Amino acid sequence: MAGRYQGRVAVITGGASGIGAATVRKFVGEGAKVVIADMQEEMGKKLAAELGASVHFQRTDVTHEDQVKAAVDSAVAKFGRLDCIFNNAGFGGAAGPVETISVQDYDITMDVLVKGVFLGIKHAAPILKAQGSGTIVNTASIAAFYSGIGPVLYNAAKAAVLQMTKSMALEFGYYGVRVNCVCPGVIATPLAAGRAGASAEVIDKMRDAIGGEEVLRRIGNPEEIADAVFWLASDESSYVNGHALVVDGGRTAGLPYQKQTDWLKKPRELRLYRPEGR
């Protein structure tokens, strides 16, 4: 049985680990050819070797325009076309009180989280616009909506990605190309664990440590974000454009039940007000 993305080609930045790797697996499982564009060469090559001829690894630092262009070009050179770019590469960025953040740390944070998305869109644009079809999916975050979830620069960068997505959707929609973003909550990835290459054991400890505080009493899995990304890229979302798809288990809906005060959780007798004489 053919997959839902049979014969199509995607570039996935940050595709060697975490959400990116789960999305590579999802796309390949649905019949796609995929270019993994990532700096993590050992992990990227290992994943490509595991998944076979449908996957090509291209070492890519998304802060360098020539390398992003090379990743996009490699999709066309290797597989003959481009149908989707998932601009996913990222990291936590500079943290701490604002007076402690250097300009250099500010620059690298914004370069990875914002410029990297812009460059992916820029170099996919000529191909997708010319063929009049395709999709662009960007990784934003629930931090784009609510402060206090990530460091200040991470929050600001993800808000920029959300607005870039909406603005680009208006431009690309004219050419028949859709642009959307996914906004994950807390997901069991090396990024959420605080360091690249975090072991499964470290990630499991993070699940145990913070999962109980979430609405669903667990944190999310990378595969759950991959499913959302695939939906945004596929024909199943053919009239979805300029949308920020929140996948957070309810985190942005409000306080988890276990944190609500007793008067919200416990039933109370309903006392109706009746005017005198009624």
**Residue 141 catalytic?**
yes
Q: In 96-240, at which residue ranges do the beta strands (DSSP E only) sit?
A: 135-139, 178-184
Q: Does residue 273 lie within any of the structural domains?
A: no
**Residue 257 catalytic?**
no
**In the predicted structure, residue 252 carries a pLDDT above the cut 90:** yes
pLDDT tens track for 95-114: 999 999 999 999 999 999 99
Candidate list 17, 74, 141, 234, residue with the active-site label: 141
pLDDT tens track for 153-178: 999 999 999 999 999 999 999 999 99
Mean pLDDT of the chain: 94
Candidate list 26, 33, 115, 158, residue with the active-site label: 158
* Greater model confidence, 88 or 265: 88
pLDDT tens track for 13-68: 999 999 999 999 999 999 999 999 999 999 999 999 999 999 999 999 999 999 99
Q: Does residue 138 lie within any of the structural domains?
A: yes
pLDDT for the residue numbered 273: 66
Which residues make beta-bridge pairs with 179?
A: 136
**In the predicted structure, residue 277 carries a pLDDT above the cut 70:** no
186: domain CATH number? 3.40.50.720
Domain tally, the chain: 1
- In which band, very low, low, confident or very high, does the pLDDT at 204 lie, cut at 50, 70 and 90? confident
Q: Does residue 272 lie within any of the structural domains?
A: no
**In the predicted structure, residue 83 carries a pLDDT above the cut 70:** yes
pTM over 0.75: yes
Q: Does residue 3 lie within any of the structural domains?
A: no
Q: Does residue 270 lie within any of the structural domains?
A: no
pLDDT for the residue numbered 278: 60
First to last CA, the chain: 69
Q: Does residue 4 lie within any of the structural domains?
A: no
pLDDT for the residue numbered 266: 81
Calculate the CA 118 to chain-centre distance: 14
pLDDT for the residue numbered 264: 78
| Residue position matching structure tokens 């007076």 | 99
6 half-sphere exposure, CB direction, 13 A CA radius: 4
pLDDT for the residue numbered 244: 98
Q: Does residue 38 lie within any of the structural domains?
A: yes
Q: Which domain holds residue 137?
A: 9-265
| Residue position matching structure tokens 């076309």 | 81
* Greater model confidence, 243 or 273: 243
**In the predicted structure, residue 185 carries a pLDDT above the cut 80:** yes
Q: Does residue 278 lie within any of the structural domains?
A: no
pLDDT for the residue numbered 38: 98
**CB-neighbour burial class of residue 117 (10 A; exposed 0-12, middle 13-18, buried 19+):** buried
pLDDT for the residue numbered 112: 98
**Residue 166 catalytic?**
no
Candidate list 154, 166, 234, 257, residue with the active-site label: 154
Mean pLDDT of 218-236: 97
Quote the percentage of the chain above a pLDDT of 70: 95
* Greater model confidence, 160 or 264: 160
